[in-house]
Structure 1
Amino acid sequence: MCRYVSVLCGAVAVLLTVLSGSAVAQPSSDSNRAPLRIMHFVLSGTVPLERAREYVNQAQAAGFTAVQVLLTDGVRLDHAPWKPVKTAWTKAQLISWVAYARAHGLDVIPEVKLLTHQEQFFQKHQPGLMFNAVSYDPRKEGVYQVVFGLLDELIDALHPRAIHIGHDEAFGWTVGQVAKWLKFGEVMAPADLFARDVERIHGYLSQKGVETWMWADMLLDPAEFPGASSKHLHGMAAGYGKAVRNRLPRDIVMCDWHYGDEQGSFPSMAVMQSEGFRVIGATWKREETMRNFSRYALSRKAYGLMATTWFHVQRNDRDLVDWIIHSSGRLFRNPDAAVPPRPASAASPEGHGRTAP
Structure 2
Amino acid sequence: MKKTGIPLLFSMIIFMVSSNASAQNALDSILPVRGFCIAAPMPKGVDSLVTFINKELAPRKVNTLILRVDYNYQYTSHPELRDSIALSKTDAKKIVAACRANGIKVIPQVNLLGHQSWANKTANLLLKYPQFDETPHVKMPEKYVWPNADSLYCKSYCPLHPGVHKIVFALMDEICDAFETDAFHAGMDEVFYIADTRCPRCGGKDKAELFAGEVTRIHDHLAVSGKKLWIWGDRLIDGYTTGLGMWEASHNNTYPAIDMIPKDVVICDWHYERPDKTAVYFAMKGFNVVTCPWRNPSIALSQLNDMISFRNGSTPEMNSRFRGMVQTVWSGADGFLRGYYGGTENTPSGGNTPWDSFRVLYQEINKLQ
Q: Check whether the contact 1:256–1:281 (CA below 8 A) recurs between aligned residues.
A: yes
State the distance in 1 between where 2:124 and 2:105 align.
24
Verify the 8 A CA contact 1:309 1:324 in the aligned structure 2: no
Query: What TM-score do the two structures reach when normalised by structure 1?
Result: 0.73
2:261 match: 248
Q: Secondary structure of the residue that 2:35 maps to in structure 1? A: strand
- Size of the aligned set, in residue pairs, is 287
What's the offset of the Cα at 1:321?
5.3
- CA drift of 1:142 comes to 1.1
How far apart in 1 are the matches of 2:192 and 2:44? 28
User: 1:222·1:230 contact (CA, 8 Å) conserved in 2?
Assistant: yes
Q: Tell me: CA distance 1:99–1:43, structure 2 relative to 1, closer, same or farther (3 Å).
A: same
TM-score (norm 2): 0.70
1:183-214: CA deviation from partner (whole Å, max 9, x where unpaired): xxx99993322211111010111111001100
SS at match of 1:267: coil
- Give distance in 1, aligned partners of 2:61 and 2:283: 25
Letter in 2 for 1:55: F
Q: Structure 1 residue 199 and structure 2 residue 212: aligned?
A: no
Alignment of 1:1-357 (within 5 A): 34-43=31-40, 45=42, 48-57=45-54, 58-80=56-78, 82-86=81-85, 88-119=86-117, 120=123, 122=125, 124-132=127-135, 134-171=155-192, 190-225=207-242, 229-230=244-245, 232-238=247-253, 240-241=254-255, 243-261=256-274, 263=275, 266-301=276-311, 302-315=322-335, 317-319=338-340, 322-333=355-366
The secondary structure found in structure 1 opposite 2:327 is strand
Once the 2 structures are TM-superposed, how far is the Cα of residue 44 of structure 1 from its aligned partner? 5.8
Q: What is the rounded CA distance, in whole Å, between the counterparts of 2:42 and 2:192 in structure 1?
A: 24
How large is the RMSD of aligned CA atoms in angstroms? Answer: 2.9
Amino acid at match of 1:84: D
Stretch moving more, 321-330 or 121-130: 321-330
Mapped contact 2:134–2:193 kept (Cα < 8 A)? no
Write out per-residue CA displacement over residues 42-73 of structure 1, whole angstroms, 9 at most, x where no aligned residue: 02656611111123121112221111101124
- The amino acid that maps onto 1:168 is D
Shift of 1:230: 4.2
Q: Secondary structure at the match of 1:255?
A: strand
- CA deviation after TM superposition for structure 1 residue 167, in Å: 0.3
Q: Distance in 2 between matches of 1:218 and 1:60?
A: 32
Gaps of 5+ in 1: 1-30, 179-185, 336-357
* CA spacing shift, 1:313–1:189, aligned 2, 3 Å: farther
Deviations 1:71-121 (A, max 9, x none): 1243212135633133x2212211221122111221111111011101345
Report if aligned partners of 1:132, 1:187 keep a CA contact under 8 Å in 2.
no
Question: Cα distance 1:61–1:32, how it changes in 2: closer, same or farther (>3 A)?
Answer: closer
Match of 2:22 in 1: none
